Amino acid sequence: EVQLVESGGAVVQPGGSLRLSCEASGFNFADLNMHWVRQAPGKGLEWISYTNWNGELKYYADSVRGRFTVSRDNSKSFLFLQMESLAKEDTALYFCVKEKAASNYFDAWGQGTQVTVSS
Amino acid sequence: QSALTQPASVSGSPGQSITISCTGTTSDVGRYNYVSWYQQHPGKAPKLILYDVSSRPSGISKRFSGSKSGNTASLTISGLQAEDEAAYFCSSFRPDTTRVFGGGTKVTVL
């Protein structure tokens, strides 16, 4: 069974940093592209980051580029999101999302980890 | 990086059909047949219900169907049921960022 379990969410002050983790199991993590998607309270989904299977190709949404960094450890089946210079607008539930192999859609989502930026 | 455009809400009575539109541009929806749809119930993670415009994953009801014309994709739910009450999000491939979502549509079963 495919499982994606996020962790690392917390309450952090504006300007602070946080590192999110996503532990993957039930599939060949090292073979697949992965994404981070977030959802602000009561709002829609916002795609924020992508990494290809080997971590050499990365993309970011304009809203987080230069502040967030995606990485992965294929030996341990972990996906990470390092977040810097956090602002109130970054308050959201952050989902780790698996991309279907050789496709362009998301076929598995974690339950999310909550990040709250507040003074 | 503008989001795709969806109506904020759509409603229908049990048994009826409803259609949710998802409008993008010639750079995403209009250019690629890589539109997918996700259903999200309150407090739950999104769930894939359609991919590549009109394909259904295993286990998804045939009541869900998809189509595309020009820059607009559509999700139709036929035989509306109480369990269909949820938020629905479209997504498209976009070469500059790889993905973009619509703002979401809240479906209410009257």
Closest-CA distance of chain A to residue B101, Å: 6
Position A53 scores a pLDDT of 95
User: How far apart (Å, rounded) are the C-alpha atoms in residues B38 and B52?
Assistant: 12
Position B45 scores a pLDDT of 97
Between residues A13 and A102, the one the model is more confident about: A13
CB contact under 8 A, B32 and A104: yes
* Segment A2-8 long-range contacts (CB within 8 Å, at least 24 positions apart): A2/A26, A2/A27, A2/A98, A2/A108, A4/A96, A4/A97, A4/A98, A4/A108, A4/A109, A4/A110, A5/A96, A5/A110, A5/A111, A6/A94, A6/A95, A6/A96, A6/A110, A6/A111, A6/A112, A6/A113, A7/A113, A8/A113
User: How far apart (Å, rounded) are the C-alpha atoms in residues B48 and A53?
Assistant: 21
Question: What percentage of chain B reaches a pLDDT higher than 70?
Answer: 98
Between residues B107 and B98, the one the model is more confident about: B107
**Which chain A residues are closer than 8 Å to B93 by Cβ?**
104
H or E element, residue B50: strand B47-50
B39-65 burial string, b = 16+ CB within 10 Å, else e?
A: bbeeeebbbbbbbbbbebeeebeeebb
**Residue A79, class by beta-carbon neighbours within 10 Å (0-12 exposed, 13-18 middle, 19+ buried)?**
buried
Tens of pLDDT, residue by residue over A27-52, are 999 999 999 999 999 999 999 999 99
Mean residue pLDDT of chain A comes to: 96
Closest-CA distance of chain B to residue A107, Å: 6
Token look-up 């495919």 returns A2
CB contact under 8 A, A60 and B97: yes
| Residue B1 pLDDT exceeds 70 | no
The token pair at B31 is 């250019």
- Chain centroid offset of residue B76 CA: 8
User: How far apart (Å, rounded) are the C-alpha atoms in residues B97 and B46?
Assistant: 20
A/B interface, count of CB pairs below 8 Å: 68
Cα dihedral angle (B47, B44, B77, A35), rounded to 10 degrees? Answer: -30
Closest by Cα among A26, A109, A31 to B48: A109
CB contact under 8 A, B52 and A105: yes
Runs of H (alpha helix) within chain B: none
